[in-house]
Amino acid sequence: MTANYPNAIHDRLAGGLIGLLVGDALGVPYEFHKPSALPPTESIEFRPPPGFARSHAGVPPGTWSDDGAHALILLDSLLQRQSLDLQHFAGGLQRWLYSGFCAVNGSVFDIGIQTSTAINRLKAHVPPERSGPDGEHQNGNGSLMRVLPLVLWHKGSDEELVVLAMRQSLPTHGHVRAQLACAMYCLWARAILKEFAEPWLDAEARLCNLASRLGLPDMELERVLDPGNAQAAYGSGYVLDTLWSAKSAVENARSYQDCVRSAIALGHDTDTTAAVAGGIAGLKYGFGGIPDRWRSGLRGEAIYRPLLDALLAGYGDCEAE
């Protein structure tokens, strides 16, 4: 995909979606590896260096995983229903697992245990508001990895954005910690899109200001926003680790390329960390800031291009507010 977007808001929105997909695809070959087993950061590409024992060896380079597929399923549902319709969204998740919906070549090759459990509950007709496991030790990053399209689509208040971000988590991740992580990420992404000077701090303040009105639990909010999370971040599948790992990758980088490579260099859940960080970096640096070799090497254009075009059509020629 090599189109240019002279309209600034279109460039940023396209950067967010493609940035997520590229980050995911870039991280796929390196998933499950420890940092010490990864190639030098500057060598991280869709095709790893010769001799590297890549993960998902049969997957063609430039292919996104469950992260990108679920994000596109969410975007598809938002565009079709013009609202967050959990039943419709949950149907899309089932179509992905059982039929390859929004997966490159229809191939599903990566799924978390918690998400698999939740989708099987959906198949058994458990309502999507209750299908996501909600134990404290069931706080994986599966709802965080897909939530960015909500920010790209949504034009309402911060309060509504927070409510919807938390609600979209429910079909697969029911614990309030995962819900709050999604809310914080969405406010951070919105602050990046609006080019605030201190986007993370602005998002923190907005979430805290909304907390009492929305009845957000103080202890969980403090846990999500605890700066000590930064020292514990190492790219695992735990939702707060993913959020804070992405924060570190974004804030310590000077380009989209540096950001996603730094996210992958943390090891472990490389595709998700890079997808979450890459979406933010795409909003920050725009579509034009994503290296052309990665944009053109990204597979699945027939899937994401119609959705991106429909998203951008909703913004006309306007600029970001």
Do residues 27 and 63 lie in contact, with contact meaning Cβ atoms separated by under 8 Å?
A: no
Residue 64: predicted pLDDT: 98
pTM: 0.96
Are the C-beta atoms of residues 289 and 256 closer than 8 Å to each other?
yes
pLDDT averaged per 10 residues in sequence order, the chain, 321 residues: 82 98 98 97 97 95 98 98 98 98 95 94 98 96 98 98 98 98 98 97 98 96 97 94 98 98 98 98 98 98 98 77 42
Say what the pLDDT of residue 1 is: 66
3-state SS assignment for residue 198: coil
Q: What is the pLDDT of residue 4?
A: 78
Predicted confidence at residue 259, as pLDDT, reads 98
The answer to whether 183 touches 166, Cβ cutoff 8 Å, is yes
- Going along the chain from its start, the domains and CATH numbers come out as 8-49+62-313 (1.10.4080.10)
Output the pLDDT for position 2. 61
Query: Residue 23's closest CA among 302, 311, 269?
Result: 269
Q: Which of 252, 257, 250 is nearest to 295 (CA)?
A: 257
Question: Would you say 139 and 129 are in contact if contact means Cβ atoms under 8 Å apart?
Answer: no
pLDDT, residue 6, reads 83
d(CA 23, CA 264) in angstroms, rounded, equals 9
Q: Which of 317, 114, 21 is nearest to 93 (CA)?
A: 114
